[in-house]
Amino acid sequence: MPRTRSLAWSELKIGLLTVFALAMATLLIFLLSGEGGFFWQRYSLKTVFPNIAGLKPGAPVRVAGVEIGSVTEVQFAGDRVEVVMEVSRDMQSRVTSTSVASLGSISLLGEAAVDITASSEGTPIPEWGYVASGPAAGSIAEVTAQATEGIQELTVLLQETRAGRGTLGRLFTDEGLYVEMQSLVQAVEAVVQNVNQGRGTLGRLANDPAAAKSLEASLQNVEAVTARIRSGEGSLGRLLNDDAMAKSLTSTTNNLDSITGQISRGEGTAGKLITERELYDRLNSMSQRLDQVMTGLQQGEGTAGQLLKDRQLYENINGTVAEMRRLVQDIRNDPRKFLNVRVSLF
């Protein structure tokens, strides 16, 4: 009996040591595997991609480049692919509703991984919640998609060019447009030749030193004028530099503004002329009567009209005036002849 109890205790100790060793080995495996600790230290998240590009269970999950978990399951959800991830609970405050999950790669060999952007804004995503997905900036997939889109647009452009659409297409297919372009090129070449030979204003300017000097002198004169204006010389210079003149001009404009305001309000003769209908009607009636008088004069009505139209009346009046002038002249020459006064006494 004592020997049997000794063997049983030895076997129990071996079993306890074995269990302890297995537990330590399991703990060591968990600590070295990068899975984020024990199961109670991890929680599950989901995301959905249109294409996972070869992502497999066990692929790492990273937040801001730091590995925090791994992919546990990949399955279809309609036309898209749902990815289930197990990540460390320590990262829950950094994986929020504003975080974005994208497909990354571990190395140049193209082994896929899930990259999640860290964000302290928003609310933390609960367990089994969904992380919004999006393309990774500068990823090979994005570059490939952009390159494909560019090739498609270039293909469409080439097709339209071959079909003769647009200016470039017409240039390739329309013979008339080609001839016009050739004529334009020839005209430009002729202009350049004329300039090189000194023809025209531009040609003289490019080849004649005298024209260049004249232009330079004109520019110097303009520069001198602007310098004088800046220094306050002349009316324009005083206007730009003299505060008194500027104030005087401002006062003049204010007075003009005041006068126009009074006219608009109907003050004064000009204001009444603009605003009062009665004064306008009186002036209009007076102008009509004056028009009638002028019409009568032109038609020879009345004494003034006959004076304008009747040649005989004009000559008679002119003769009478001439006789009066001669009479006055005779009186001046011999006043005794016309001023003979006799005095008689009764």
Domain ranges in the chain? 33-135, 144-173, 285-321
What's the mean pLDDT in 227-245?
A: 75
pLDDT at residue 298 tops 90: no
Q: What tokens appear for 6 in the block?
A: 């000794």
What's the mean pLDDT in 107-123?
A: 81
Give one word for 341, left, alpha or beta, with left for phi > 0 and alpha for psi -120 to 50. beta
Instruction: Evaluate whether 177 touches 164 at the Cβ level (below 8 Å).
Output: no
What's the mean pLDDT in 56-68?
A: 89
CA gap 222, 229 in Å, rounded: 11
- 81 pLDDT tier (thresholds 50, 70, 90): very high
- Counting Cα atoms < 13 Å in the Cβ hemisphere of 44 gives 9
pLDDT value at residue 83: 93
Q: What's the Cα-to-Cα distance from 280 to each of 94, 135, 167, 288, rounded to whole Å?
A: 85, 80, 64, 12
DSSP state of 54: T
The pTM score is 0.37
- 344 pLDDT tier (thresholds 50, 70, 90): low
Measured in degrees and rounded to the nearest 5, phi and psi for residue 42 equal: -125, 160
Q: In sequence order, which ranges of the chain are alpha helices (DSSP H)? A: 2-32, 140-162, 166-173, 175-196, 200-207, 209-230, 234-241, 243-265, 268-275, 277-299, 302-309, 311-333, 335-338
- 71 pLDDT tier (thresholds 50, 70, 90): very high
Measured in degrees and rounded to the nearest 5, phi and psi for residue 85 equal: -130, 150
CA gap 130, 143 in Å, rounded: 26
What's the mean pLDDT in 256-279?
A: 75
Across 57-71, 106-120, 146-160, which has the greatest mean pLDDT? 57-71
CA gap 321, 331 in Å, rounded: 15
What's the mean pLDDT in 76-97?
A: 90
More confident: 145 or 251: 251
Instruction: Evaluate whether 208 touches 198 at the Cβ level (below 8 Å).
Output: yes
pLDDT at residue 32 tops 60: no
Q: What tokens appear for 215 in the block?
A: 């232009």
What end-to-end distance do the CA atoms of the chain give, in Å?
A: 216
pLDDT at residue 6 tops 60: no
More confident: 212 or 90: 90
- 34 pLDDT tier (thresholds 50, 70, 90): very low
What's the mean pLDDT in 330-342?
A: 69
Q: Which helix (H) or strand (E) holds 87?
A: strand 80-88
What's the mean pLDDT in 183-209?
A: 78
% pLDDT > 70, the chain: 84
CA gap 310, 317 in Å, rounded: 11
pLDDT value at residue 108: 60
pLDDT value at residue 1: 47
% pLDDT > 90, the chain: 11
pLDDT value at residue 84: 94
Q: What tokens appear for 338 in the block?
A: 């016309």
